[in-house]
Structure 1
């Protein structure tokens, strides 16, 4: 199973579209957005991707609250399952407890990946390239005995994403 994870799109819908198109080309089955979508256009891009998706509100998404029933956007922390894997999704890193298989968060704009106490923690970094001139996202591959985290990033003026892979045995 391949999941595309992104966060902190802010006002950069063109970068968000680049990331979603990249995930589709990489054959991701699901999209997970960890908040700070900021504009409805970013929600429309998730909705129109043709992929199953889930998103949570970030601290800059107050203006999107009224759209919760129109799009698949939830309050944090949001728990859900894909197949037999339990996820917790949030924007603010306030609930970083190992109470599920995978914990996904955003807000810091910094890529993080850690596996401890049988819980995988992931922050995909930032789509918006605000803190550094990089568009960042993560592909999560889940196999029976391992998690494959692929950090994907590119400079805003480059065409192709670069990849760095981290593998954790379950």
Structure 2
């Protein structure tokens, strides 16, 4: 099972459209994961219409229309892999322990908000992933998103894709 993982698209505030490399991944993905801050419903509509399966949440910049359609926290069983998605996890310091305590039954937690790519594993084995942002690099050198695979209930082949700065 192939995953496309993104967050913080902020359309149309930060960019007019999703980057072509990310859009090219859609037909290859079995599951698209979006960790919030869509900003517009058009992006949600686009990903829903082009995805086999979408797992997404709303973020702090998402208004009532998106909050009506998306949960604050999403859970999915992906072939035995227990995935959770949330927008905010708080400060980087102590994140692994804090998230492991909050989500003890997950294998992987995808989050967003900071626009800073993140890939760590808590002492409990919980893997934390932040794909950064494909549209707004903020203070990062690149705009980013992630892909990965799920096989036999395990996450593998996680890759951070770097897009050129604008």
Structure 2 residue ranges without an equivalent (≥5): 91-97
Instruction: For residue 52 of structure 1, report the CA deviation from its aligned partner.
Output: 0.9
Write out per-residue CA displacement over residues 27-66 of structure 1, whole angstroms, 9 at most, x where no aligned residue: 2211000000000111111112142111100000023346
Instruction: For residue 23 of structure 1, report the CA deviation from its aligned partner.
Output: 1.5
Instruction: For residue 154 of structure 1, report the CA deviation from its aligned partner.
Output: 1.2
1:152 aligns with 2:161: yes
TM-score, normalised to structure 2, is: 0.79
* C-alpha separation in 2, matches of 1:56 and 1:136: 19
Q: Which residue of 2 aligns with 1:8?
A: 8
* C-alpha separation in 2, matches of 1:28 and 1:9: 18
How big is the alpha-carbon RMSD for the aligned residues of Structure 1 and Structure 2? 2.2
* C-alpha separation in 2, matches of 1:23 and 1:120: 23
* C-alpha separation in 2, matches of 1:134 and 1:93: 22
Instruction: For residue 96 of structure 1, report the CA deviation from its aligned partner.
Output: 1.6
Cα contact 1:112–1:121 (8 A) shared by 2: yes
Structure 1 pair 58–66 and aligned structure 2 pair: CA distance change class (3 A): closer
Q: Which residue of 2 aligns with 1:142?
A: 150
Give matches, 1:55-94, under 5 Å.
Answer: 55-65=56-66, 67-68=68-69, 73-76=70-73, 78-94=74-90
1:123 aligns with 2:126: no
Structure of greater relative contact order (alpha carbons < 8 Å, 6+ residues apart): 2
Instruction: For residue 152 of structure 1, report the CA deviation from its aligned partner.
Output: 0.6
Q: Which residue of 2 aligns with 1:101?
A: 107
By percentage of residues, which structure has more strand?
1
Q: Which residue of 1 aligns with 2:119?
A: 113
TM-score, normalised to structure 1, is: 0.77
Structure 1 residue ranges without an equivalent (≥5): 158-170
Q: Which residue of 1 aligns with 2:23?
A: 21
Cα contact 1:20–1:49 (8 A) shared by 2: no
For 1:128, what is the secondary structure of its paired residue? coil
Cα contact 2:81–2:155 (8 A) shared by 1: no
Aligned residues: 150
